[in-house]
């Protein structure tokens, strides 16, 4: 019946990161949808440092109505450097878009606060660690939490990250493993390193034999006094995963200055000096995990995975938050679209999967090709010097917006509009 109120849809969102929060925002705009976020932490807080907000992310933030309060440093120029001597190997300027859509490095806490402000009151429940999911035949899904509480939802959204408990329940055969990459992140006052030559003049990647040093401002200089501006440092070290015997954690754990600096003793003196300026106790260590591609990101016709839970990639192209928020917005559109024609929830999830799974497949294929290019170069030139291998690496991995426009130049609203036109045979 035209204009009839759709039946109540009870949605349980597991995870309170960008994907979970944006899912709550987008779904709360739909008629007769009841949304609850279940987050295992005691409080919603971001562990890490900065986050990249580019054109693809700005476009979805606009759709969520959360873009106004996300402000950071506009990256005018990004340098690729030889980490051992500081030589500039390449330079890239900002993606040619309208000023409001230019890439910015932003404190993670600012993005989180902007999203939380748009979530309706009473939606977020903390200290809720998922223990199991149970498929109710002919009904919804029962969520059992470690504190003993049980709830039943018509739709479960797994936005609980790379170590997703939701994914483990619906795809128990899927496994992730440590990749061999360790990342240390910190945000420090710019004043601590401003005297180091060329360290604070631009965003830069300093590449070494087994990793890199990345540095960037995360505050808007026009709005933040210089003595209050903060600088992000993120350093990566990569080793064969099989050589690492200690237990690894994907979330941020404390790391000592000695542990971090020990991996960068051969780097340019400016890098070593910047690392030495970090106050003790500030570093957070993250271990990178990945797993094979999922053939589909929906299960039981009532569970869907978004963000890192749906695509445990070895790399997120600096757009992990954008991907999660795009998932959330597309999911809400698919539900609204199918409900308007009285189609079951399964149709909405199938629509979502048909749009997002091929997109993530393309990312897996791109990363596989990158790895192959590097390996082929090693086979072709077995005696490569560090400088020669670095040249291949920068050319292979330095692909910016120009040759990855399907990621960085994606307008998710246009993706949805194209789907609707195709479904109507236009």
User: In whole angstroms, what separates CA 232 from the centre of its chain?
Assistant: 17
Q: Are strands 230-238 and 253-254 parallel, antiparallel or unpaired?
A: unpaired
Considering the four listed CATH numbers 3.40.50.800, 3.40.630.30, 3.30.9.30, 3.40.50.2000, the one that applies to the domain covering 46-109+177-290 is 3.30.9.30
Closest to 315 (Cα-Cα) out of 365, 358, 356: 365
Q: Sign of the CA dihedral 274, 75, 108, 213?
A: negative
Q: What is the mean pLDDT of each run of 10 residues along the chain (426 residues)?
A: 80 97 98 97 78 94 96 87 94 76 90 95 97 95 97 98 96 94 94 94 92 93 89 94 84 93 97 98 93 95 97 82 97 96 95 97 88 82 84 65 80 97 87
Cα–Cα distances in Å, from 83 out to 358, 390, 415?
A: 36, 10, 39
Instruction: Provide CATH 3.50.50.60 ranges for the chain.
Output: 9-44+126-176+293-424
Rounded Cα distance between 13 and 156, Å, is 6
Nearest C-alpha neighbor of 37 from the set 115, 148, 136, 135? 115
The CA distance from 313 to 246, in Å, is 22
Question: How far apart, in Å, do the first and last CA atoms of the chain sit?
Answer: 25
Are 199 and 270 spatial neighbours (Cβ–Cβ below 8 Å)? yes
Name the strand (E) or helix (H) holding 182.
strand 177-189
Q: Can you give the pLDDT at residue 356? A: 98
| pLDDT value, residue 46 | 65
325 Cβ neighbours under 8 A, 6+ residues apart: 18, 19, 22, 57, 60, 61, 64
CB distance 281 to 313 below 8 Å: no
Query: Among residues 347, 261, 259, 339, which one has the least CA distance to residue 298?
Result: 347
Which residues sit opposite 189 in a β-bridge?
A: 230
Q: For the chain, give every residue range classified as CATH 3.30.9.30.
A: 46-109+177-290
Structure tokens at 113: 């606060």
Candidates 3.50.50.60, 3.20.20.140, 3.90.230.10, 3.90.1150.10; correct CATH number of 9-44+126-176+293-424?
Answer: 3.50.50.60
Model confidence, pTM: 0.93
According to the model, what pLDDT value does residue 270 have?
97
Distance CA 180, CA 353 (A): 30
* Residue 19 near residue 159 (C-beta atoms within 8 A): yes
Print burial letters for 34-65: b (CB count within 10 Å at least 16), e (below 16).
ebbbbbbeeebebebbbbbbbbbbbbbbebbe
SS3 359: helix
Long-range contacts of 192-199 (CB under 8 A, 24+ apart): 192/231, 192/277, 192/278, 193/231, 193/273, 193/274, 193/277, 196/270, 196/273, 196/274, 196/277, 197/270, 198/86, 198/270, 199/270, 199/274
């Amino acid at each position: 019946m035209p204009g009839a109120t759709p039946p109540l849809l009870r949605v349980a969102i597991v995870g309170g990161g960008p994907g979970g929060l944006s899912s709550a925002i987008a779904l709360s705009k739909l008629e007769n949808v009841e949304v609850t976020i279940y987050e295992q932490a005691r409080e919603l807080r971001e562990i890490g440092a900065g986050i990249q907000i580019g054109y693809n992310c700005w476009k979805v933030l606009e759709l969520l109505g959360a873009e106004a309060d996300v402000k950071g440093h506009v990256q005018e120029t990004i340098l690729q450097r030889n980490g051992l001597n500081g030589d500039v190997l390449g330079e890239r300027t900002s993606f040619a878009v309208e000023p409001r859509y230019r890439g910015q490095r932003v404190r993670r806490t600012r993005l989180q606060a902007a999203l939380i402000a748009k979530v309706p009151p009473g939606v977020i429940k903390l200290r809720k660690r998922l223990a199991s999911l149970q498929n109710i035949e002919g009904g919804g899904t029962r969520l059992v939490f470690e504190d003993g509480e049980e709830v039943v939802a018509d739709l479960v959204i797994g936005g609980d990250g790379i170590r997703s408990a939701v994914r483990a329940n619906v795809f128990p055969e899927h496994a992730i493993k440590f990749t061999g990459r360790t990342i240390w992140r910190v945000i420090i006052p710019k004043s601590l390193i401003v005297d180091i030559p060329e360290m604070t003049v631009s965003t830069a990647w300093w590449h070494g034999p087994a990793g890199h040093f990345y540095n960037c401002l995360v505050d808007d200089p026009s709005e933040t006094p210089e003595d209050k501006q903060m600088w992000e440092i993120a350093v990566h070290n990569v080793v064969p995963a099989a050589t690492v015997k200690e237990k690894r954690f994907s979330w941020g754990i404390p790391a000592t200055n000695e542990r971090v600096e020990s991996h960068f003793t051969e780097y340019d003196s400016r890098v070593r000096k910047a690392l030495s300026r970090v106050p003790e106790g500030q570093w957070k260590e993250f271990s990178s995990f990945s797993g094979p591609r999922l053939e589909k990101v929906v299960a039981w016709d009532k569970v869907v995975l978004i963000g890192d839970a749906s695509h445990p990639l070895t790399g997120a192209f600096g757009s992990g938050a954008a991907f999660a928020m795009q998932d959330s917005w597309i999911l809400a559109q698919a539900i609204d679209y199918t409900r308007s024609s009285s189609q079951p929830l399964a149709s909405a999830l199938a629509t979502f999967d048909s749009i997002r799974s091929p997109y993530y497949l393309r990312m897996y294929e791109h990363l596989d090709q990158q790895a192959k290019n590097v390996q082929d170069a090693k086979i072709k030139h077995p005696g490569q010097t560090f400088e020669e291998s670095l040249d291949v690496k920068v050319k292979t991995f330095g692909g910016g917006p120009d040759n990855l426009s399907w990621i960085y130049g994606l307008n998710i609203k246009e993706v949805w509009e194209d789907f609707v036109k195709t479904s109507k045979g236009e």
